[in-house]
């Protein structure tokens, strides 16, 4: 069962400004880009992203590592944004499929299949992850990324807008879940890591101003945005503070 509806994603993408590109000045972009570049380096061929809008990450890996970018997106707004983003960036994608990931039959398999912020929106992600494998070549890489809404970020998001937490499966946001997933699906676990350190842009407020607790949290986040410009802080990671989990498997 999905924890989000299609309308949620249409609204989510409606205010995005293009081009959407990796910004090394932004702490999270810097951390995730570094890891994705590293784990995909040396791989030749095609990468396929599940929930690919607006194409930011597959476009980046196409530019940096020479991969041919493809993906699937079921939000019509997201599909249009992805096509436009590639057009602006002057990158030719392999294919951008408009459709439901669970209803489209793969016409081909890919060297890398990736989803970044997709599986945590389901109550039982295991069959969702299994669906990823239908698009992946034998011996290919499966890359799964999810935000970490546990630890300090859970406390902050709870006070800013608890309803956002309800759209995420917090039970999977730990190393043990991703390790067991590899065992359950007979995948070779290459690495599972927390990354991103504390990310002040991960929590999202519902109110512009809010109550005294919310105001205090927002001041804290403003201070942290300045501190996170210091690159050495990228290396401070733990389940309590890190903003993201990235798992890499071989099929």
10 Å Cβ neighbour count for 201? 14
The C-alpha atoms of residue 111 and residue 32 are separated, in whole angstroms, by 20
Does 85 map to a domain?
yes
Please say whether the beta carbons of 24 and 33 come within 8 A: yes
> Which pLDDT tens digits describe the chain residue by residue (251 residues)?
666 566 665 666 667 889 999 999 999 999 999 999 999 999 999 999 999 999 999 999 999 999 999 999 998 899 999 999 999 999 999 999 999 999 999 999 999 999 999 999 999 999 999 999 999 999 999 999 999 999 999 999 999 999 999 999 999 999 999 999 999 999 999 999 999 999 999 999 988 888 999 999 999 999 999 999 999 999 999 999 999 999 999 99
Does 40 map to a domain?
yes
Question: What is the domain range of residue 123?
Answer: 6-148+168-200+234-250
The C-alpha atoms of residue 118 and residue 251 are separated, in whole angstroms, by 19
Please say whether the beta carbons of 106 and 135 come within 8 A: yes
Domain count, the chain: 1
Does 61 map to a domain?
yes
The C-alpha atoms of residue 163 and residue 82 are separated, in whole angstroms, by 27
Does 153 map to a domain?
no
The C-alpha atoms of residue 246 and residue 116 are separated, in whole angstroms, by 9
Q: Where are the alpha helices (DSSP H) in the chain?
A: 6-14, 27-40, 56-65, 76-89, 126-133, 151-165, 175-184, 212-227
Does 143 map to a domain?
yes
pTM above 0.85, yes or no: yes
Does 1 map to a domain?
no
CATH code, domain with 43: 3.40.50.150
Does 161 map to a domain?
no
Does 100 map to a domain?
yes
């Amino acid at each position: 069962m999905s924890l989000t509806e299609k309308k949620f994603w249409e609204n989510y993408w409606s205010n995005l400004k293009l081009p959407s590109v990796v910004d090394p000045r932004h702490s999270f972009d810097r951390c995730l880009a570094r890891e994705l570049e590293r784990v995909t380096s040396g791989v030749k061929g095609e990468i396929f992203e599940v929930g690919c809008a607006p194409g930011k990450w597959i476009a980046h890996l196409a530019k940096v590592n020479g991969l041919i970018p493809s993906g699937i997106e079921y939000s019509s707004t997201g599909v249009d944004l992805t096509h436009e983003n590639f057009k602006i960036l002057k990158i030719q994608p392999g294919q951008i499929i408009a459709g439901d990931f669970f209803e489209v039959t793969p016409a081909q398999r890919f060297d890398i299949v990736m989803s970044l912020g997709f599986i945590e929106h389901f109550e039982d992600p295991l069959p969702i992850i299994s669906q990823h494998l239908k698009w992946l070549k034998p011996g290919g890489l499966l890359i799964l990324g999810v935000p970490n809404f546990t630890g300090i970020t859970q406390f902050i998001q709870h006070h800013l807008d608890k309803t956002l937490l309800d759209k995420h499966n917090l039970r999977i946001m730990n190393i043990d879940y991703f390790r067991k997933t590899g065992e359950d699906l007979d995948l070779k676990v290459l690495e599972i890591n927390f990354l991103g350190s504390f990310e002040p842009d991960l929590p999202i407020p519902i109110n512009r101003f809010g109550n005294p607790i919310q105001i205090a949290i927002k001041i804290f986040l403003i201070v942290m945005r300045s501190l996170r410009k210091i690159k050495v802080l990228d290396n401070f990671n733990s389940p309590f503070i890190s903003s993201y989990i990235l798992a890499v498997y071989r099929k």
